[in-house]
Amino acid sequence: MKTNLLFTVGLLLLLTTAQAQEKYGVRAGLNVANMSQAFNSELDNPLPRAAWFAGFTADYSLVKNYVYFQPGLLFSKKGFLLNDPDLNTRSITSLNYFEVPLNVVVKFGKPTSYTKFYLVGGGYGALGLGGKTKVRVNGEKTEQYNVKFDESLKRFDYGVNAGLGFQFGYVQLGVFYQQGLRNLSGDGTSTNARNQVFGVSFGYLFDDLF
């Protein structure tokens, strides 16, 4: 139910902005994902893991040529690594999310400039779709199990985004940081498990398709 609601809200935002003014497009990139604390281990220092995201975006002009509202619909992979050198064990947790970012973008440069610098700030809402943890001992895979949202991990996440980048015509290249604000630990313990992501983003904005 929550997934359908979040998808509907994100889709309406995309269609509204696309029909109202300006552009919509696609966006993808690299996530270097981590958690402030692992929800499934007593180890306190999870390590980042490489992942990816992809989806759709829109660029709605609030102040012509300078300030834009940029919502999106993304599939985003997050998670973390855990190393236990005493047992020579490594576990890799992969978490899949449906994500709706809601950002404000401020662009710097003359209206006729091909290249512009931009700053991004805003928030996101996300729903966990599923996940897995793979365990390796001495480099060999020993077990794999599913992450159960609503049990070991809360399904709904939200947080803040910040980033910067350059726009070259219709192409946007940027970097960003995403900090989850919700403690996702679902076991009632004092674990403070919040998503954290550094990322690199590539976007392409289409013109005059609506």
Whether the predicted pLDDT of 39 surpasses 90: no
CA distance 27 to 116: 18
Q: What is the pLDDT of residue 17?
A: 47
Q: What is the pLDDT of residue 18?
A: 44
Q: What is the pLDDT of residue 167?
A: 96
Q: Read off the pLDDT of each residue in 76-82 and give the average, rounded to a whole number.
A: 94
Name the more confident of 3 and 117: 117
Indicate the helix (H) or strand (E) that contains 2. helix 2-20
Q: What is the pLDDT of residue 88?
A: 82
Question: At 210, is the pLDDT very low, low, confident or very high (cuts 50, 70, 90)?
Answer: low
Q: Which amino acid is at 79?
A: G
Range of the domain at 87: 2-206
Whether the predicted pLDDT of 185 surpasses 90: no
Question: At 122, is the pLDDT very low, low, confident or very high (cuts 50, 70, 90)?
Answer: very high
Name the more confident of 155 and 190: 155
Q: What is the CATH number of the domain that holds 119?
A: 2.40.160.20
Which are the contacts of 170, defined by CB distance < 8 A and separation ≥ 6?
23, 25, 204, 205, 206, 207
Number of domains forming the structure of the chain: 1
Of 19-23, 45-49, 125-129, the range with the lowest mean pLDDT is 19-23
